């Protein structure tokens, strides 16, 4: 019985220590992530001309922009420029439109002072 208790303790103690270390690491990572998102939001706020340029360029190409370009964070896409267009997602031209918009926005971002943020582009269709 004593032997089993020692074996259980020898297994349980490293598991508990490992769990604490992992939780601590995740907490630090979460803080770093929050800081990175905050800094990116500040940089975009300081440079509104880039988002305005995106809106103007897309409107000049004839795209129906439902809302102005904005910066968004989610765990899947990380930091992304969100473009909402007035078009149905099941429209036969939607995926071609999405691809064209992403190309336009990526060119603007590449030549802007936001290039170092490595922003992705997300296009979202909204019903008219």
Reply yes or no on whether the pLDDT at 13 is more than 60.
yes
> How does pLDDT run across 113-126, given as a tens digit for each residue?
888 888 888 888 88
Q: What pLDDT shows up at residue 89?
A: 63
At 37 the pLDDT is 86
For the chain, the residue count is 128
Tell if the pTM clears 0.95, that is, is over it: no
Tokens 């360029």 -> residue:
57
pLDDT band at 18 (very low <50, low <70, confident <90, very high): confident
10 pLDDT higher than 60: yes
pLDDT tens track for 39-79? 888 988 898 899 899 999 999 998 888 888 888 887 766 88
């Amino acid at each position: 019985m004593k032997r089993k208790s020692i074996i259980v303790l020898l297994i349980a103690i490293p598991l508990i220590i490992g769990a604490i270390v992992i939780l601590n690491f995740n907490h630090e990572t979460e803080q770093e992530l929050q800081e990175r998102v905050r800094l990116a939001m500040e940089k975009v706020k300081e440079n509104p001309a880039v988002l305005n340029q995106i809106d103007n360029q897309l409107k000049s190409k004839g795209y129906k922009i439902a809302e102005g370009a904005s910066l968004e964070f989610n765990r899947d896409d990380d930091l992304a420029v969100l473009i909402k267009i007035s078009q149905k997602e099941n429209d036969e031209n939607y995926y071609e439109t999405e691809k064209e918009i992403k190309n336009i926005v990526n060119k603007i971002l590449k030549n802007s002072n936001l290039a170092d943020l490595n922003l992705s582009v997300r296009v979202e269709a909204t019903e008219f």
